[in-house]
Structure 1
């Protein structure tokens, strides 16, 4: 399906006079000027939402551009359209687009970065976004254990630091039932402490951390346990706490 979406986006770009060459992209207007994927994204991704298509097909086309260009800026244009005068975008198509790509067996850094810094850091959207990409499905993930679902769960857990603790704690607790998710859950807890907008409750986070089956030499495990046991909620609110933990655990 992603390949079909990417090919639809390629045809759409061709209609705009943009085509791919060996080392990048060129426009019909300036065939001697090589464009990067990032330049193409900045110049044309927003135009998708001016196309004479229904909103669902606009979103699908935008995700096809994301598949084709692999540029974070495409996700920014999707977010702008969702918040814009014609928004919100159809939620089922929007979040299905994210879920499909989070399950894909390839690098999806643009997608996870978008979740982390845009949808999860914004507390007006983080609860809905987290529920749509993982929270609603965590029981199925634990029961099904298919590779695609596990990939999605790992990726979401790892970038979920900014999500408010009451929103994500039930999902974290369910994820803890599956050892295959323990390393990703650890990284989620670590991000919940270290991220600028990270959020956790120290006692509850420590209780969860102690349930995880992790190698004893896991990097930063002892330090994270130390700061949580000391009651610290966030690295940036207790700037010396991590250094104290490093000294104590060395």
Structure 2
């Protein structure tokens, strides 16, 4: 968390007449009406990008608001601004902001706004998935694997787990590199599983099975046998092969 950006966001909200109280947030003119962080995000996050600041300043303020509120809707405002007529946003600051928050030493639940944003916005969109995946992991997976430290490993694990919608041709080289680091095997398994189960999940069954068979996982890992069976049968996606997963569950039970 960028404490300076958080305080800037808190100050900016105060200028909008919004302050934090013990149980939530209140408007100055209606101090009796308690607002949630989600209420604040939906009402004010988009206004950050109308401020009289340069694009970098607006983006820093938006990330500060994300850290302060921890709400997915703030990431939506960032994405909308990037895709607007005044976009794109400064790419170096945008992706550095994502990487830093993916590396944050906090519970996965507390990082969910960022991982969910990657999954359903940047990764599901074929126009942005390749760039987004490269920026948050693909470009430096070799360094993460050869010189691992806790923060980049957290980022790699979180990205792999939500990478189901990324096109197979884009993510396979990163998956193969991640395979070299056993600490990433559980996350890689969850990425493969999501690649099969997500509505927009993408994988090559034979190549995915070859990766799966090289993972060092406990034999009783939930869903391991079922995933191996559907891939061996040539199924690429749960929704394009109705019943295949249920058949595998019955067969493996």
Considering the TM-score relative to the shorter chain, is it more than 0.5? yes
State the match for 2:48 in structure 1. 48
State the match for 2:85 in structure 1. 85
Deviations 1:116-172 (A, max 9, x none): 000000111000000000000101110121100000000000000000000000000
- Using the size of structure 2 for normalisation, the TM-score is 0.98
SS in 1 for 2:196: helix
* Residue pairs, 1:139-218, within 5 angstroms: 139-218=142-221
- Using the size of structure 1 for normalisation, the TM-score is 0.99
Shift of 1:57: 1.0
Shift of 1:247: 1.3
State the match for 1:220 in structure 2. 223
Deviations 1:63-113 (A, max 9, x none): 100000000000000000000010010100000000000000112000000
State the match for 1:71 in structure 2. 71
User: Gaps spanning 5+ residues in structure 1: where?
Assistant: none
Answering whether residue 108 of structure 2 is matched by residue 105 of structure 1, we say: no
CA RMSD of aligned residues (A): 0.7
Structure 1 consecutive aligned stretches of length 4 or more whose deviation exceeds 4 Å:
none
* Residue pairs, 1:25-64, within 5 angstroms: 25-64=25-64
Equivalent pairs, count: 250
Quick one: distance in 2 between partners of 1:57 and 1:176? 39
Quick one: distance in 1 between partners of 2:209 and 2:56? 42
Quick one: distance in 2 between partners of 1:150 and 1:8? 29
Deviations 1:162-211 (A, max 9, x none): 00000000000000000000000000000000000000000000000011
Quick one: distance in 2 between partners of 1:170 and 1:26? 48
User: Gaps spanning 5+ residues in structure 2: where?
Assistant: none
Quick one: distance in 1 between partners of 2:249 and 2:139? 37
Quick one: distance in 1 between partners of 2:3 and 2:237? 41
Quick one: distance in 2 between partners of 1:225 and 1:68? 42
Quick one: distance in 1 between partners of 2:205 and 2:250? 20
